[in-house]
Amino acid sequence: MIYTVTFNPAIDYVVRLGNPLKPGAVNRAAGEDCVLGGKGINVSGVLAQLGVESVALGFIAGETGAWLERGLTAQGLHTDFIWLENGMTRINVKIKAGQETELNGAGPNIPESAMQTLETKLDALQKDDVLILAGSIPACLPQSTYERLLARLQGRGVRAVVDATQDLLLKVLPYKPFLIKPNNHELSEIVRHELTTDDEIVAAAAGLQAQGARNVLVSMAGDGALLLDENGAVHRIGCPKGKVVNSVGAGDSMVAGFVAGYLRTGDYRYALRLGTACGSATAFSVGLATKEKINELLETI
């Protein structure tokens, strides 16, 4: 089974304006949407489109949390959230008016007792289960939270996937995650110099592999992606043609496709192809990738 963890889920309230945003004045929306998300939840959503079951874990609170849980269940996702007594699941306001303005909520405080409940749930994971940890850690939790969870699972054969940045990513490498997915800019920040060629990216990825990562998947937006697999093979793939509509969730979609592809075939080349198709399908769509769009792009890669 695949388990995703979203520490700080959100309801994104997306407002579209027909004119530029005017601060200090009344702005009337031309349209609006509510999107239920968070990086781990995005991964679970795309896995569902691929026909792969997962369990979405995380923390929710208040009426907004209840709304988010109902909405995800209606989408066919399996959830096992931990309810918090205080606060509310955050609402992020995203104003699209030529350029995008965001106001992101803080989210509820996560007490130690809730973390212990999460650990108890993770204790049920079995050998070859997949645990996907994606995104930043809320300010109410220490930055060592990912390390804490992976240390608890160490030696049990659980395949960890980590999509995080800088120190948050580097500190989990000793626990030998199955997959890490920095983008090329994040990888440049880690090695502290700009990476401009494939050879430089491979060398930087090999450095992370030497520290413990089994597979390093580097996404490069319109330039495709590069995978250094655990056997030392380098796989390079381009990006299918299409108009980028929304890049939010594209990286999460790539993770979902890669994991699903590998579990389906055990073939890293196919995993990279499916991951690229999923990431591109989301980038070319208003929302997350759909099964139809994924299959359409997969045939072109």
Give the active site residues: 252
Question: Residue 240 in contact with residue 279, Cβ under 8 Å?
Answer: no
CA-CA-CA-CA dihedral for 173, 175, 176, 180, to nearest 10: -50
Tell me the sheet residues that pair with 16.
31, 96
Question: Residue 49 in contact with residue 291, Cβ under 8 Å?
Answer: yes
